[in-house]
């Protein structure tokens, strides 16, 4: 769906992206790169229907004449609807010649993450005036091994129910107090039938493949 946006706000976010600590090898750096502003020029120019019609006349003449107008453009992928559950899937492979190689590098991720710098300024389910969209970590999937074989394990937090979550996300109601702390609970490491209680620091040092966050604010 193509919408006409105000050029002044089309590339604006809920919070200032320049204030982020963009440490390379962090989830913030990954999200920043994924949502960065791109320029489409030369062979990547955008096919512009409006420019084409202005240059060639009505659409019915375009196909027969095969005249299309391409123009320089800017592109940015931002979040327009903050989800109740945020799932982040990290790319754990890279091309090495004709083969794929697993990426074992540790990516830093926090217990509480603010999605506001990656949300459009007109995010649909964020109360007007809010400049934070907070999520608390509750699950991690880790993979050990190679591209050909390996083993999946998980970390899950046993936590109290967030009574505000449904009101906030499903009904659009705002919270009275700002929640900046992760939801309290005990972390567990699950490997097949083996379950063991672990510390939060153990979870945050894992080689995350999938991250699961629930919305706080």
- State residue 170's pLDDT score: 55
Which DSSP symbol is given to 173?
A: P
How much is the pLDDT for 107? Answer: 92
pLDDT tens-digit series, residues 78-117: 999 999 999 999 988 877 777 788 888 899 999 999 999 9
The predicted-structure confidence for 112-149, as pLDDT tens digits, reads as follows: 999 999 999 888 888 888 889 999 999 999 998 887 78
SS3 160: coil
Residue 207 lies in a domain: yes
Examine residue 51 and state whether it is found in any structural domain, yes or no: no
What residues have CB less than 8 Å from 167, skipping those under 6 apart?
173
What pLDDT is stored for residue 109 in this prediction? 96
More confident residue, 202 or 167: 202
Considering the domain boundaries, does residue 16 fall inside one?
no
Residue 178, pLDDT score: 42
At 87 the pLDDT is 97
Q: Tell me the three-class secondary structure of 78-143, residue by residue.
A: CECCCCCEEEEECCCEEEECCEEEECCCCCECCCEEECHHHEECCCCCCCCCCCCCEEEEEEEEEE
d(CA 47, CA 147): 38
Give how many domains the chain has, as a whole number.
1
- Please give the model's pTM, rounded to 2 decimal places: 0.79
Asked whether residue 97 is assigned to any structural domain, the reply reads yes
Query: Domain of 85?
Result: 79-215
With a cut of 80, say whether residue 7 has pLDDT above it. Answer: no
In what helix (H) or strand (E) does residue 150 lie, and over which residues does it extend? strand 150-159
Average pLDDT for 58-64: 54
In the structure, what pLDDT confidence band is assigned to residue 175 with cuts at 50, 70 and 90? very low
Element spanning 168, H or E: helix 165-169
Say which CATH number the domain at 128 has.
Answer: 3.90.70.10
Those residues with Cβ within 8 angstroms of residue 94's Cβ, 6 or more apart along the chain or in another chain: 100, 101, 103
**pLDDT tens string 18-35:** 878 788 899 999 999 999
Query: Per-residue confidence at 176, pLDDT binned at 50, 70, 90?
Result: very low
Collapsed DSSP state (helix, strand, coil) of residue 183: coil
Integer Cα distance of 165 and 168 in angstroms? 5
The answer to whether 108 and 90 have CB atoms below 8 angstroms apart is no
């Amino acid at each position: 769906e193509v919408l006409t946006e105000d050029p002044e706000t089309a590339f604006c976010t809920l919070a200032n992206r320049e204030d982020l600590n963009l440490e390379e090898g962090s989830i913030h750096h990954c999200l920043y790169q994924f949502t960065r502003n791109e320029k489409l020029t030369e062979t990547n120019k955008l096919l512009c229907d409006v420019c084409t019609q202005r240059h060639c006349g009505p659409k019915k003449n375009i196909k027969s004449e095969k005249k299309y107008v391409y123009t320089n453009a800017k592109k940015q992928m931002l979040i327009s609807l903050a989800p109740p559950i945020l799932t982040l899937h990290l790319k754990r492979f890279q091309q090495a010649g004709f083969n794929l190689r697993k990426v074992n590098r540790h990516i830093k991720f926090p217990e509480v993450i603010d999605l506001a710098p990656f949300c459009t300024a007109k995010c649909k389910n964020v109360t007007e005036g809010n400049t934070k969209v907070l999520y608390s970590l509750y699950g991690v999937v880790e993979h050990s091994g190679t591209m050909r074989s390996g083993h999946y394990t998980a970390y899950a937090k046993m936590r109290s129910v967030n009574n505000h979550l449904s009101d906030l996300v499903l009904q659009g109601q705002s919270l009275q107090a700002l929640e900046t702390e992760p939801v309290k609970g005990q972390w567990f490491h699950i490997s097949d039938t083996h379950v063991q209680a672990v510390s939060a620091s153990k979870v945050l040092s894992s080689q995350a493949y999938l991250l699961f966050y629930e919305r706080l604010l």
